[in-house]
Structure 1
Amino acid sequence: MISSVHKTLVMELMSGMSGRFPVLTHLEYDATDPFAVTASFSHEGRLLAQWRLDRQMLAEGLLGPVGEGDVRLRPQSTGVWHELRLELFGDAHPDGGRHHAVILAWAPAVASFLEETYEVVELGSETVGVDDFLAEVIGNA
Protein backbone atom coordinates (compact mmCIF):
# COMPACT_ATOMS: atom_id res chain seq x y z
CA MET A 1 0.00 0.00 0.00
CA ILE A 2 1.28 3.46 -0.90
CA SER A 3 1.66 5.66 2.17
CA SER A 4 3.12 8.84 0.67
CA VAL A 5 2.92 11.08 -2.39
CA HIS A 6 5.70 13.24 -3.84
CA LYS A 7 5.41 15.72 -6.67
CA THR A 8 7.92 18.21 -8.02
CA LEU A 9 6.55 21.36 -9.64
CA VAL A 10 8.00 24.58 -10.94
CA MET A 11 6.26 27.47 -9.23
CA GLU A 12 6.97 31.16 -9.57
CA LEU A 13 8.17 33.50 -6.84
CA MET A 14 6.89 37.05 -7.20
CA SER A 15 9.67 39.57 -6.71
CA GLY A 16 8.40 43.10 -6.25
CA MET A 17 8.31 45.01 -9.50
CA SER A 18 10.89 42.69 -11.15
CA GLY A 19 8.43 39.97 -12.07
CA ARG A 20 8.39 36.23 -11.53
CA PHE A 21 11.25 33.82 -10.91
CA PRO A 22 11.02 30.02 -11.20
CA VAL A 23 11.26 28.08 -7.94
CA LEU A 24 11.51 24.31 -7.83
CA THR A 25 8.90 23.07 -5.37
CA HIS A 26 8.72 19.61 -3.82
CA LEU A 27 5.30 18.73 -2.41
CA GLU A 28 5.18 15.79 -0.02
CA TYR A 29 2.28 14.06 1.69
CA ASP A 30 2.68 11.24 4.21
CA ALA A 31 -0.18 9.18 5.66
CA THR A 32 1.49 9.27 9.10
CA ASP A 33 0.66 13.00 9.22
CA PRO A 34 -2.62 12.98 7.27
CA PHE A 35 -3.55 16.64 7.68
CA ALA A 36 -0.28 18.14 6.41
CA VAL A 37 1.49 18.76 3.11
CA THR A 38 5.16 19.76 3.20
CA ALA A 39 6.26 22.24 0.55
CA SER A 40 10.01 22.70 0.03
CA PHE A 41 11.07 25.60 -2.18
CA SER A 42 14.52 25.65 -3.79
CA HIS A 43 16.43 27.57 -6.43
CA GLU A 44 19.68 26.51 -8.11
CA GLY A 45 20.06 23.62 -5.67
CA ARG A 46 19.64 25.76 -2.55
CA LEU A 47 16.72 25.24 -0.14
CA LEU A 48 15.00 28.60 0.26
CA ALA A 49 12.21 27.63 2.63
CA GLN A 50 10.11 24.74 3.84
CA TRP A 51 6.50 25.12 4.94
CA ARG A 52 3.96 22.69 6.35
CA LEU A 53 0.55 23.42 4.90
CA ASP A 54 -2.86 22.13 5.93
CA ARG A 55 -4.10 19.76 3.19
CA GLN A 56 -7.73 20.90 3.47
CA MET A 57 -6.70 24.55 3.39
CA LEU A 58 -4.67 23.90 0.24
CA ALA A 59 -7.75 22.37 -1.41
CA GLU A 60 -10.00 25.22 -0.30
CA GLY A 61 -7.48 27.75 -1.61
CA LEU A 62 -8.04 26.41 -5.11
CA LEU A 63 -11.71 27.48 -4.83
CA GLY A 64 -11.57 30.73 -2.88
CA PRO A 65 -9.61 32.85 -0.41
CA VAL A 66 -8.59 31.07 2.78
CA GLY A 67 -6.24 31.83 5.67
CA GLU A 68 -5.73 34.71 8.06
CA GLY A 69 -2.34 34.04 9.64
CA ASP A 70 1.05 33.07 8.26
CA VAL A 71 -0.41 31.26 5.24
CA ARG A 72 -3.01 32.74 2.91
CA LEU A 73 -4.20 31.09 -0.29
CA ARG A 74 -6.54 32.07 -3.10
CA PRO A 75 -7.19 31.26 -6.74
CA GLN A 76 -5.88 33.69 -9.32
CA SER A 77 -6.67 33.70 -13.03
CA THR A 78 -4.95 35.49 -15.86
CA GLY A 79 -6.97 34.67 -18.96
CA VAL A 80 -6.97 30.91 -19.44
CA TRP A 81 -4.15 30.42 -16.91
CA HIS A 82 -5.48 29.33 -13.47
CA GLU A 83 -3.08 29.68 -10.56
CA LEU A 84 -3.03 29.20 -6.83
CA ARG A 85 -1.57 32.21 -5.03
CA LEU A 86 0.30 31.31 -1.85
CA GLU A 87 1.21 34.17 0.48
CA LEU A 88 3.64 33.14 3.18
CA PHE A 89 4.50 35.39 6.11
CA GLY A 90 7.68 34.72 8.09
CA ASP A 91 9.67 36.23 10.91
CA ALA A 92 9.52 39.88 11.84
CA HIS A 93 11.95 42.48 10.47
CA PRO A 94 13.71 44.82 12.93
CA ASP A 95 11.52 47.63 11.50
CA GLY A 96 8.35 45.81 12.60
CA GLY A 97 7.37 44.40 9.20
CA ARG A 98 7.47 40.71 8.34
CA HIS A 99 9.18 38.64 5.71
CA HIS A 100 6.60 38.01 2.99
CA ALA A 101 6.70 35.79 -0.08
CA VAL A 102 4.15 35.35 -2.85
CA ILE A 103 4.37 32.14 -4.83
CA LEU A 104 2.18 31.22 -7.79
CA ALA A 105 1.45 27.61 -8.70
CA TRP A 106 -0.38 26.17 -11.68
CA ALA A 107 -3.71 25.23 -10.03
CA PRO A 108 -4.39 22.02 -12.05
CA ALA A 109 -1.01 20.60 -10.94
CA VAL A 110 -1.81 21.28 -7.27
CA ALA A 111 -5.28 19.75 -7.72
CA SER A 112 -3.71 16.66 -9.31
CA PHE A 113 -1.32 16.32 -6.36
CA LEU A 114 -4.22 16.59 -3.90
CA GLU A 115 -6.17 13.90 -5.79
CA GLU A 116 -3.18 11.57 -5.36
CA THR A 117 -3.15 12.29 -1.61
CA TYR A 118 -6.84 11.37 -1.39
CA GLU A 119 -5.94 7.95 -2.80
CA VAL A 120 -3.60 7.49 0.17
CA VAL A 121 -5.95 8.90 2.85
CA GLU A 122 -9.49 9.75 1.78
CA LEU A 123 -10.68 13.25 2.51
CA GLY A 124 -12.58 13.19 5.81
CA SER A 125 -11.05 9.93 7.03
CA GLU A 126 -7.91 11.47 8.54
CA THR A 127 -7.16 10.38 12.10
CA VAL A 128 -4.59 11.35 14.70
CA GLY A 129 -3.20 8.95 17.27
CA VAL A 130 -4.03 11.11 20.30
CA ASP A 131 -2.96 8.46 22.81
CA ASP A 132 0.41 8.04 21.08
CA PHE A 133 0.84 11.82 20.90
CA LEU A 134 0.07 12.27 24.62
CA ALA A 135 2.43 9.44 25.55
CA GLU A 136 5.18 11.11 23.52
CA VAL A 137 4.53 14.55 25.08
CA ILE A 138 4.41 13.18 28.60
CA GLY A 139 7.50 11.05 27.97
CA ASN A 140 9.47 14.13 26.81
CA ALA A 141 8.36 16.31 29.74
Structure 2
Amino acid sequence: MSCVSALIAVRLDAARGRVPLLARFSYDAEDPYVVQATFFDGPIVLARWHFDRQMLAEGLHRPVGEGDVTFSPHRAAGRDDLRVALRGPGVKMQESAVLFLEAHALTGFLEQTYAVIGVGEEFLDFDKLLDRLLAR
Protein backbone atom coordinates (compact mmCIF):
# COMPACT_ATOMS: atom_id res chain seq x y z
CA MET A 1 0.00 0.00 0.00
CA SER A 2 1.49 3.37 -1.00
CA CYS A 3 -0.92 5.55 1.01
CA VAL A 4 -1.83 5.55 4.68
CA SER A 5 -4.06 7.76 6.78
CA ALA A 6 -5.26 8.05 10.35
CA LEU A 7 -7.81 10.06 12.26
CA ILE A 8 -6.21 11.71 15.26
CA ALA A 9 -7.92 13.65 18.04
CA VAL A 10 -6.65 17.21 18.33
CA ARG A 11 -7.19 19.86 20.96
CA LEU A 12 -7.17 23.50 19.83
CA ASP A 13 -5.87 25.90 22.46
CA ALA A 14 -8.55 28.60 22.59
CA ALA A 15 -9.45 31.45 24.95
CA ARG A 16 -12.26 29.34 26.43
CA GLY A 17 -10.06 26.28 26.95
CA ARG A 18 -9.08 23.36 24.76
CA VAL A 19 -11.54 22.71 21.94
CA PRO A 20 -11.65 19.12 20.63
CA LEU A 21 -11.23 18.68 16.87
CA LEU A 22 -10.42 15.82 14.56
CA ALA A 23 -7.60 15.64 12.02
CA ARG A 24 -6.98 13.24 9.17
CA PHE A 25 -3.25 12.69 8.70
CA SER A 26 -2.40 11.29 5.27
CA TYR A 27 0.81 10.05 3.69
CA ASP A 28 1.35 9.16 0.04
CA ALA A 29 4.52 7.54 -1.31
CA GLU A 30 4.22 9.80 -4.38
CA ASP A 31 5.23 12.71 -2.12
CA PRO A 32 7.48 10.91 0.38
CA TYR A 33 8.59 13.88 2.47
CA VAL A 34 5.10 15.24 3.17
CA VAL A 35 2.32 14.47 5.63
CA GLN A 36 -0.97 16.20 4.91
CA ALA A 37 -3.16 17.15 7.86
CA THR A 38 -6.80 18.11 7.34
CA PHE A 39 -8.48 19.59 10.41
CA PHE A 40 -12.24 19.16 10.95
CA ASP A 41 -14.91 20.49 13.23
CA GLY A 42 -17.66 17.97 12.59
CA PRO A 43 -18.18 17.86 8.81
CA ILE A 44 -16.53 21.27 8.25
CA VAL A 45 -12.93 21.39 6.99
CA LEU A 46 -11.20 24.13 8.96
CA ALA A 47 -7.75 23.97 7.41
CA ARG A 48 -5.35 21.79 5.47
CA TRP A 49 -1.61 21.89 6.14
CA HIS A 50 1.34 20.02 4.70
CA PHE A 51 4.04 19.05 7.18
CA ASP A 52 7.52 17.64 6.73
CA ARG A 53 7.41 14.03 7.96
CA GLN A 54 10.85 14.21 9.57
CA MET A 55 9.96 17.42 11.42
CA LEU A 56 6.82 15.79 12.81
CA ALA A 57 8.88 12.87 14.11
CA GLU A 58 11.60 15.09 15.56
CA GLY A 59 9.00 17.37 17.17
CA LEU A 60 7.94 14.47 19.38
CA HIS A 61 11.39 14.65 21.05
CA ARG A 62 12.63 18.24 20.71
CA PRO A 63 11.46 21.65 19.48
CA VAL A 64 11.78 22.02 15.70
CA GLY A 65 10.67 24.44 13.02
CA GLU A 66 10.47 28.16 12.66
CA GLY A 67 8.22 30.60 10.93
CA ASP A 68 4.79 29.25 9.98
CA VAL A 69 5.07 25.85 11.69
CA THR A 70 6.76 24.71 14.88
CA PHE A 71 6.54 21.41 16.75
CA SER A 72 7.59 20.60 20.30
CA PRO A 73 6.99 17.86 22.85
CA HIS A 74 4.52 18.76 25.59
CA ARG A 75 3.73 16.86 28.77
CA ALA A 76 0.74 17.76 30.92
CA ALA A 77 -1.75 15.91 33.08
CA GLY A 78 0.20 12.67 32.68
CA ARG A 79 -0.01 12.59 28.90
CA ASP A 80 2.55 13.15 26.18
CA ASP A 81 1.47 15.43 23.35
CA LEU A 82 2.94 17.13 20.34
CA ARG A 83 2.43 20.89 20.47
CA VAL A 84 1.89 22.32 16.99
CA ALA A 85 2.01 26.08 16.47
CA LEU A 86 0.66 27.30 13.13
CA ARG A 87 0.86 30.84 11.86
CA GLY A 88 -1.15 32.11 8.91
CA PRO A 89 -0.03 34.74 6.42
CA GLY A 90 -0.35 37.60 8.92
CA VAL A 91 1.34 38.02 12.27
CA LYS A 92 -1.80 38.81 14.27
CA MET A 93 -2.79 36.41 17.03
CA GLN A 94 -6.15 35.80 15.28
CA GLU A 95 -4.23 34.17 12.42
CA SER A 96 -2.36 31.75 14.66
CA ALA A 97 -3.34 28.43 16.20
CA VAL A 98 -1.83 26.13 18.80
CA LEU A 99 -2.86 22.50 18.65
CA PHE A 100 -2.09 19.51 20.84
CA LEU A 101 -1.98 15.98 19.40
CA GLU A 102 -1.61 12.79 21.41
CA ALA A 103 1.98 11.65 20.86
CA HIS A 104 1.08 7.96 20.94
CA ALA A 105 -1.46 8.31 18.10
CA LEU A 106 0.96 10.33 15.96
CA THR A 107 3.76 7.84 16.60
CA GLY A 108 1.49 5.02 15.41
CA PHE A 109 0.68 6.91 12.23
CA LEU A 110 4.36 7.69 11.58
CA GLU A 111 5.23 4.00 12.01
CA GLN A 112 2.68 3.21 9.29
CA THR A 113 4.36 5.74 6.98
CA TYR A 114 7.77 4.14 7.62
CA ALA A 115 6.32 0.80 6.53
CA VAL A 116 5.55 2.46 3.18
CA ILE A 117 8.89 4.29 2.83
CA GLY A 118 11.54 4.01 5.50
CA VAL A 119 13.53 6.87 6.97
CA GLY A 120 16.31 7.78 4.54
CA GLU A 121 14.69 5.83 1.70
CA GLU A 122 12.71 8.81 0.43
CA PHE A 123 13.18 9.61 -3.25
CA LEU A 124 11.52 12.26 -5.34
CA ASP A 125 11.50 11.69 -9.10
CA PHE A 126 11.97 15.25 -10.35
CA ASP A 127 11.51 14.26 -14.00
CA LYS A 128 8.11 12.74 -13.21
CA LEU A 129 7.18 15.76 -11.08
CA LEU A 130 8.18 18.16 -13.85
CA ASP A 131 6.16 16.14 -16.40
CA ARG A 132 3.09 16.37 -14.17
CA LEU A 133 3.52 20.11 -13.65
CA LEU A 134 4.00 20.80 -17.36
CA ALA A 135 0.96 18.68 -18.25
CA ARG A 136 -1.28 21.06 -16.29
**What's the TM-score once normalised by structure 2's chain length?**
0.93
Match of 1:122 in 2: 118
Structure 1 residue ranges without an equivalent (≥5): none
Structure 2 residue ranges without an equivalent (≥5): none
Match of 1:27 in 2: 25
Cα distance in 2 for partners of 1:124, 1:46 equals 36
Match of 2:49 in 1: 51
For 1:72-91, what aligned pairs fall within 5 Å after superposition? 72-91=70-89
Deviations, residues 52-88 of structure 1 (Å, cap 9, x unaligned):
0000000000010000111100000014210000001
Q: Which amino acid aligns with 2:104?
A: P
Q: Say if 2:131 is the partner of 1:132.
A: no
Match of 2:5 in 1: 6
Match of 1:97 in 2: 92
What's the C-alpha RMSD, in Å, of the aligned pairs?
Answer: 1.4
* Consecutive aligned runs of 4 or more in structure 1 exceeding 6 Å deviation: none
Q: How many residues align structurally? A: 135
Cα distance in 2 for partners of 1:9, 1:127 equals 27
Cα distance in 2 for partners of 1:121, 1:100 equals 32
Identity %: 39
Which entry has the higher C-alpha Rg, 1 or 2? 1
Match of 1:113 in 2: 109
**What's the TM-score once normalised by structure 1's chain length?**
0.90
Q: Say if 2:39 is the partner of 1:41.
A: yes
